[in-house]
Structure formats: structure tokens, C-alpha cells
Amino acid sequence: MLDNLIQNFINGVMLGAIYTLIALGLSIIFGVMNIVNFAHGDFVMVAMYATFWISTGLGWDPVATPLITIPLLFLIGVLAYYLLIHRTLRRNYVTQIAVTVGLMVFLRSITQVLFQARPRTITQSIIQGTLNLGPYTFTMTRLASAIVAVVFIVAIYLFLAKSWAGWAIRAASDDLDSASLLGINPTKTYALSFGLGSALTAVGGALLITFQQVDPTMGMRFGLLSWAILALAGLGSIPGLLISGTIVGVVESLTAAYWDPRARSLTVYLLFILILWIKPKGLFGRK
Amino acid sequence: MLKKISTPKNLLLLGIILFTLVLPLVIGSNQYVLVLTTTVILFGVMATSWNLIGGLGGQLDLAAGAYLGLGAFTTGTLLTRWNITPWVGMPLSGLVAAGVAALIGAPLFRFRVRGVWYALSSSALVQVLYTAFMMWSSVGGPMDQYLPRYDASFYYLRYNTYAPYYYILLMLLYIALYLNYYIRGTRLGFQLMALGESEEAAEVLGVNARNSKLKALMIYAYLVGVTGGVYTCLFGYYHPRFFDSNMSTEVAILGIVGGLGIPYGPLLAAAVLVRGRELLRANLGTVVERSSMAVYAVILVVIALFRPSGLAVLAGDIYRAIRLRFAKDTYVKSADSAGD
Amino acid sequence: MSNLPILQVINLSKKFGNLVAVNNVSFQVNSGEIVGLIGPNGAGKTTLFNLVTGLEQPDSGKVFFKGTEITHMAPYQICQLGMSRTFQIAQTFSSMTVSEAVRVGAYNRCDEKTVIAKVNEIVNLCNLEAIRDIKCGELSLVQLRRVELARAIATGAEMLLLDEAGAGLTAIELAELMRLLSRLNSEAGLTLCVVEHVMQMVMGLCPHILVLDSGVLIAEGVPDEIRRNSDVIEAYLGVRELE
């Protein structure tokens, strides 16, 4: 009984790591630019489909697909920024959001037309099998994905903390006008942030599809999940994000195991709404 | 006095109203046009009601589907379980929807909580309700719940023609339009407009941000809830798929594209987009219909980027341009361009 | 015009991270007074205003208005009690006309039946007749300032806090503003607390002056005393005496 609980808990933690990575992408975009990217979850979905298509269509092993999907999503992000977001920066907030909502709907319907509604999965990968440690079983794909996710999260944390570009991003998020006085090109910084945030979804999506399926409606789920993690964590703290992501992953996992698999997102959404009621700035929020 | 009332604008308005009232009679047996028009009005009601919270209230609400579904389930369950007529069920549906709306809105309309969280919460609400109702077997769960079939029953509001539903929805549309105009001239309207310009300035002038937004939200939710009741009677069944995120987004898109805050804007958008979708589908088949949402999206983005004031203002500009073009003498020309 | 305190600020403090913006400030404003609040830039004047009007929450201390504690009240509640304010950077209702903007304020005390009359009254009082139907977004600075003032008065406020209402005005416009404020104070009994950098306005208008520096209240008194106070001179000029 207890073993079962711990197993589900561990599965949740592993899942949480990947969710955190995806939420991190959103946090960079929202935290830096105050842009609400409604299409974020659908970027994940696009990344998943891209991985699917490259591995089944071109025969690549899913492990290698990020070589294409990361630059691809980065590019899509930068393009989306220049074409759509850049022009709406000074408008009222509903207009700003309208553009990303349009992007979201567009991605969703195009995917539906291209791939139809039925779910797709990947079955072949060099990462296979399971690892057994005592009474607990780790699916290799999940485990490997979780480890990769954590590696990326740490990498981004260091990037933001130590590199010049990372510093520029953080400066821009605090005070754009002062940052531009210090020689930071706001447009390029924003485009970079948007591209970076989108590229992270590529990694997350590539990881997810190794053990989950994808269909055109999943964008909403990943989007809301990311926002829930962001709301729980508050803005400005990556370790906080990781803790919140883990909480969300565990909640989902335990709900699916002990209540009803259909309800797994339900509890997360309820948690989301609850957090907004009680602590709108999040548990670890700085701003 | 009669001269004062019978300005060209008022006469046009009267003409339109009369036309909408006799439309079903004029069409006669051509159900297709009636169905299409009813669909336009259905979306028109929801989008015009949405305008109260979205345009006037300045909040992006993505929960129209939640209120529609709640309305459908309330009216439907009251009918199938306790044989209560939808004429009682529909007003009650509105109350249920408004109540749930208050629950979502109250914590989030606090002073200075950013609007994006409301948008996301409302989106989550639709999903929460969908999953919850799918799991809730005592009101039907995943099974379609059918309403009793009648060819023509007033008590059960079941007819085998669209005409009665057309009229009910038309009345709801007029109510929604009227409220849009009326509220603007009242305290609530002024307070909402001020909040939209500067929440801080409004608050120090005595405007309670939360209460004002809640009022707009609840009126909108009530109207959509009642529409939900009509919806279930129209289609003859109810099911959790009515909690539809896509439709909720569509309603918001109609409101935005139509022109935020302009009362007849969303209706115009509804007419254009629903008709457009029908045309696409009829002429090019279902593949294109699925991509009709993609077309919606592109239109939304284009309008947001280039003409954020919306279709209604665009239409207004076109109307003025046409009048100027056909003006019979310079007096009218100059009066026209000075008046607006 | 009684001389009872209408506003009492007791040991008010506020920190933003490591920066102490307002440090244990206490003072009192009597009903019908005009009080000036001056100090170098960054002294914490606007933060103090925000704390008093409910736009920020203090870390410690209390605020009493007309005897009621308003320390943690929301801005709209404080307005309903009778205190309003203007902003340093004008918060314009750009798409609304002048009379519509005033009407927003008027609804604080009026209902639908009396609101139009009140709007007309205020529009006349503040000389806005000529521009009453012009959209606020199209006004000049001095017109905007007058509208902001009018909006706030329309709420029926008994006390107004003005944040740098004189900034950017020409000498004539300044004199006009001072006359209007004086009139409102003497005729309508409006209590005023004015943050200002324009010394002429402060010295000419305010019999009671408070001086803030780095969040601390360093001096309080009549204009002559303040002019000669070495702490004040040091705060502004860095030297303790002027030769």
C-alpha cells in the first residue's frame, strides 16, 4: 500500500520535472515581457507533433529529434514575436492577448487539419525498458526524460544568472527603460526571450512524447498546467518553480491513481483556482 | 413630436426590428435560412452579453461555455428529473450561472489583481466543469441526456421547427443589446469605463473595482445561462460537451473582433463569421470547415493588429463613407462630416 | 471650520525590500487647514500619500480619518468616507469627456437623479464650462490638472491630497490654481494636503508645512520657521546655513 503510494509519488516527481521545464519557458516570457502567451501550451503540442513526425516520418530516434525541434521552436518563437507580439506591446491588454489567442486557435486548427484528431504516439526508441530499484519500478523513458529536464532547468538557471544574455533578460524584466539605457536592445532581448521560452517547450514536448500520446486538444492542458505552476510559484524564482512543478506533477499522479484517471487535470485546475483565491502572488513570488 | 422621433436612423432601426420579427413568416418553409439566422442570433446573444464584461468591464472572459453548459444542465435536469417546465428552468439557469460566475470572479476582481488571471481562471472553469460533469453520473455523466420529444409543446418548449426558438433568442438578443446601451448611461457604466482607463484613479474616486466588475459579470453570466436553457431545448439533449472551450474562445473573439464595448459590434461579427463559415462549408466541404477556425484566428489577429477598434468601427467608417459618396448636396456633406 | 484633527497619522512605516520609504512618520492635519508636504526627490512623499489613501499598505502604524481608522481600508472606501487625491502623473480618462470624468467622481455621493446637477455644479466651480464636452485625451496639461481636481472634488471629499499639482505650470496658471484652491478651502471648508516642489505655491498657500527627507519627518511648522531650519536647508542643499 505504502509502496504503491511512493511509486505514484515518484512518478509524479518525474513528471513534475518536465512540467517545470515547460512552465519555465512560460515564466521567461511572462516574467520578462508581461506577455500572456495563450499559445504556449500549443507550442508544446506542436513540438510533440514535430518530434512524432520526424521520428516516424524520417526515421530518427526520438532522442535525436531535439536537434531539429529546438531550433525550429526557437525560430517559431522569434517569428511569432516579430510578426505578432512586437506590434501589440503598447496596446491595451485585451488586444495583446487577442493576438496570442489567435495564434493558439490557429495552431490548434492547423494541427487538426494536418494530423486529424486521433492521438499519436511514438513506440520506438533506444531508451527502452524499465529499471527496478527494490519494490519500485522506473520506466526508462520517464526517468531519462526527468533527468534531462532537470539538466535543462539547471542550465537555464545558470544561463540567466551568469551569462550576459541572461543578465540582459533579467534586467529587461525588471525595468525595460533603465535596461535600454544600459545598452540593452529591448526588441532583441524580447525576441530572444520569446524564442528561448518557446525552445524550452520543444525540449519538454520531445520528452513527453516518449511516454505520452499527443492529440490536437492537448495544448489547453499544457497551457493551464504551466499557468497553474506559475501561479503556485509566483514570479522570479526558479527553485520555487521547480518545487511547484513537482507539487503539480505529484497531485496529478496521485489523483489519477487514487481517485480517477479522468480527474487528473481536474485537481490541478482546482488547485490553480484555489491559489488565485488565497495567495495570488504565489508561494515563492518576488513580484 | 412625431417628426422628432422619425429621424432616418430611428426609422431604419424600426424597420430592422420589424423585419426580424416577421422573418420566419417571410421565409416560410426554407428551414435552412432560419437555422442559419437562429445560429447567428444564438452567438449574437452570447457575444453581446459578453460585451458587458469584455468590452465594458475590460476583462477577458473565456467561460461562456461554462455558463451555457450550466444553463443547459439546470434546465435539462429540472425537466427530465422533476418535469419542471423550461419556462421556469431558464430563469433559474441564469441564476445558477450567475452564482458560479460570482464564485470565480469575486476573489479575482480585487483591486490590482491582474486581468490575465481572470482570463486563465475562466478558461480553467470550463475544463473543470467538463471533467466534473463527465464524472458526475447522477446527472448523466458521459451519456447524452435526451429531453422528451414533442412536435409542438409550449410547456416543454419542444417544437420541430426552429421558429419558436428563433423568437426566444431574438428577445434575449434585444435584451442584451438594450442592456449594453442602457448601462452605459448609468453609474455602473461610468464606473466600468473609468476602471478601464485607470483602475487607481477610479478607486480613489470611490469606485469599487470588484463590485462593479462582478455586476457586469453576473449580468452576462445570467443571460448566457438562460441561453443555455434555450440551447438544450433547441437541440433536445444535454451533455458535458456543452462545456466547450472552443466555443468560449469563439464568443470572446466575436466580442473583440466586433469592437470592444460597441453594443451592436459582436452581433455584426457573429453575422459575418457564422455566415462566412457556412459559406465555406457549403461550398468547400468539411475539411475547409475545420480550418474555418484557423481563418477566424487569422481574422482576429489581423483585426487586433491593424484595426483594434473592431469591425463595428470599420463598419461605421464604411457607412459614413457611403453616405458621403451619395450625398445629394454639399450641405448634407458638410453636416455629415461635422456631426460625427 | 472646527480645529479638530481630520487626519491623524501615527508611526507610519513602509519598506520596499531593503529600502525604507517611510520611517515612523507621525503628524496631524486639522479640519479646514492647508498643509504643505515638501522634501527632496525620493523623500517618500508620494509613498506617504499612497499609504494614507489606501493604494499601499503600511508595514506598521495607523491612520485615522475623521476619527475612523482607515489604515487597511481600500481606496474606494476611504473615498466614500471623504478623502480623495490627485496623481503626480495625471491618470487621464482619455476616451471620456470632461463632464463624463467629473461624473465618475460625482457618483460617489450622488444617485442617478442628482448626479447631473452635481456635475454642472463642479464644472462651473472649476471653470470647465468651455471644455466640458472635449475628450480628456485631448486636453492640455493645465486643463488636465483642473479636471483631475474637479473629479476629486465631485466625490464630495472633505479632504484632498494633491500630488504635485503645480508641476509644469506657468506662473499665471499657478496663480490661478492657488486662487482656486484658496477659494475651495475658505468657501467650502475643504482640507488640503499638498505635495509640492514649487516653493512659491507652498510658501504662499500653506500656513502649516511638513518636511520629509529619506522617509523621516525632519521638520514641521510655519513657512518662516521652515525657511530658516538648518535640517531643512541641509536636506535640500547639503549645507546647514546659507550665507
Q: A55 in a domain, yes or no?
A: yes
- pLDDT for A217 equals 85
pLDDT (tens digit per residue) in B309-320: 776 676 667 767
Give DSSP secondary structure letters for A95-125: HHHHHHHHHHHHHHHHHHHHH-SS-B-----
CB pairs below 8 Å between B and C: how many? 80
Residue C142: is its pLDDT beyond 50? yes
Residues of B in contact with A95 (CB under 8 A): 256, 304, 308
Domain limits for position B70: 36-245
pLDDT of residue B340: 41
Q: Which of C52, C152, C69, C63 is nearest to C109 (CA)?
A: C152
C34: distance to nearest CA of chain B, Å?
20
Residues 6+ apart with CB under 8 A from C16: none
pLDDT of res. B339: 44
| Residue B210, CA distances (Å) to A98, B107, B109, C216 in order | 23, 8, 5, 35
pLDDT bracket for residue C89 (50, 70, 90)? confident
Is B199 domain-assigned? Answer: yes
Q: Which helix (H) or strand (E) holds B78?
A: helix B64-82
Q: Which residues of C touch B58 (CB under 8 A)?
A: none
Q: Which residues does C contribute to its contact with B (CB < 8 Å)?
A: 53-55, 74-76, 78-80, 84-85, 87, 91-96, 100-101, 103-105, 107-108, 111-112, 115, 151-152, 154-155
Within a domain: residue A285?
no
The predicted pLDDT at position C69 comes to 95
Q: Which pLDDT band holds residue B287 (cuts at 50, 70, 90)?
A: low
B205 touches chain C (CB under 8 A): yes
pLDDT of residue B263: 86
The reply to whether residue C95 touches residue B111, judged by beta carbons under 8 angstroms, is: no
**Res A286 pLDDT > 60:** no
Question: In the prediction, which pLDDT does A210 show?
Answer: 85
Residues 6+ apart with CB under 8 A from A193: A28, A29, A32, A33, A169, A172
Domain contains B256: no
How confident is the model at residue C1, as a pLDDT? 45
- Is A123 part of a structural domain of the chain? no
Quick one: pLDDT at residue B328?
54
Inform me whether the C-beta atom of residue B208 falls under 8 Å from chain C C-beta atoms. Answer: yes
Mutation target among B305, B306, B309 for the A interface, most CBs of A within 10 A: B305
Among the listed residues A146, A136, A143, A139, the one whose alpha carbon sits nearest the alpha carbon of residue A7: A136
- Residue A259 DSSP one-character state: T
Mutate which of C84, C91, C95 to test chain B, going by most B C-beta atoms within 10 A?
A: C91
Residue A20 lies in a domain: yes
Question: Which three-class secondary structure state does DSSP give residue A132?
Answer: strand
Smallest Cα distance from B255 to chain A, Å:
11
**Which range has the worst mean pLDDT, A130-134, B215-219, C45-49?**
A130-134
**Which chain C residue lies closest to B189 (C-alpha atoms)?**
C104
Lowest mean pLDDT among B24-33, B100-109, B190-199: B24-33
**A122-164: per-residue pLDDT in tens?**
777 777 778 888 778 888 888 888 999 999 999 998 888 888 8
Copy the grid coordinates of residue A144: 531519462
Query: How much of chain A exceeds pLDDT 90, in percent?
Result: 32
Flag whether B286 is in a domain.
no
Provide, as residue numbers in chain B, all residues whose Cβ is less than 8 Å from the Cβ of A104: 297
The three cell numbers of residue C71 are 489604515
Give the pLDDT confidence score for residue B139 in this predicted structure.
87
Residue of B29 and B276 predicted with greater confidence: B276
Region B209-222 average pLDDT? 96
Interface of B with A (CB under 8 A): 54, 58, 60, 104, 107-108, 110, 113, 115-117, 119-121, 123-125, 127-128, 131-132, 134-135, 245, 249, 252-253, 256, 260, 287, 290-294, 296-298, 300-301, 303-305, 308
Q: Is B207 on the interface with C (CB under 8 A)?
A: yes
Q: What is the DSSP string of B173-232?
A: HHHHHHHHHHHHTSHHHHHHHHHHH-HHHHHHTT--HHHHHHHHHHHHHHHHHHHHHHHH
DSSP string, chain C: ---SEEEEEEEEEEEETTEEEEEEEEEEEETT-EEEEE-STTSSHHHHHHHHHTSS--SEEEEEETTEE-TT--HHHHHHHTEEE--SS----TTSBHHHHHHHHHTTT--TTTHHHHHHHHHHHTT-GGGTTSBGGG--HHHHHHHHHHHHHHTT-SEEEEESTTTT--HHHHHHHHHHHHHHHHHH--EEEEE-S-HHHHHHH-SEEEEEETTEEEEEE-HHHHHH-HHHHHHHHSSS---
> Where in the sequence is the domain holding A155, given as residue range(s)?
10-117+138-278
pLDDT at B155 (0 to 100): 87
- Write the pLDDT tens digit of every residue in A50-97: 888 888 888 777 778 888 889 999 999 999 999 888 888 777 777 778
Q: Which of B93-107, B252-266, C31-45 has the highest mean pLDDT?
A: B93-107
- Cα of A187 to nearest chain B Cα, Å: 18
Whether B285 is covered by a domain: the verdict is: no
Q: pLDDT class for B17, splitting at 50, 70, 90? A: confident
Lowest mean pLDDT among A263-267, B218-222, B323-327: B323-327
- From the list A97, A220, A272, which residue is nearest B60 (CB)? A97
As for the ipTM of the complex, it is 0.91
Does C191 score more than 90 pLDDT?
Answer: yes
* Closest residue in chain A to residue B308, using alpha carbons only: A95
| CB of B187 less than 8 A from some CB of C | yes
Q: In this predicted structure, which of A52-56, B30-34, B269-273, C110-114 has the lowest mean pLDDT?
A: B30-34
- For position A270, what pLDDT does the model report? 93
What's the pLDDT score for residue C239?
67
Query: Residue B288 — pLDDT band, cuts 50, 70, 90?
Result: low
Tell me if A220 is assigned to some domain.
yes
Split at pLDDT 50, 70, 90, the class of A281 is: confident
Cβ separation B300–A262 shorter than 8 A: no
> Residue B39 has which C-alpha cell?
445560429
DSSP H/E element including A139: strand A136-139
- Eight-class DSSP state of A126: S
In a domain? residue A201: yes
Q: Which of B301, B303, B309, B311 to mutate to test the interface with A (most CBs of A within 10 A)?
A: B301
| Residue of chain C nearest B112, judged by CA positions | C55
- Domain-located, residue B201: yes
Least confident of A223-232, B29-38, B168-177, B194-203: B29-38
Is B12 among the domain residues?
no
What secondary structure, in 3-state letters, does C36-100 show? EEECCCCCCHHHHHHHHHCCCCCCEEEEEECCEECCCCCHHHHHHHCEEECCCCCCCCCCCEHHH
Half-sphere exposure of B267 (CA within 13 A, CB side): 19
Number of domains in chain B: 1
Q: Closest chain A residue to B259 measured between Cα atoms?
A: A95
Binned at pLDDT 50, 70 and 90, residue A285 comes out as: low
* Domain contains B96: yes
What is the average pLDDT score of chain B? 86
Name the band, by pLDDT with cuts 50, 70 and 90, for residue C112: very high
Is B77 inside any structural domain? yes
Whole-number mean pLDDT of chain C? 90
How many domains does one find in chain A? 1
Neighboring chain B residues of C152 at a CB cutoff of 8 Å: 204-205
pLDDT confidence tier of residue B3, bands split at 50, 70 and 90: low
> Domain holding A43: CATH number?
1.10.3470
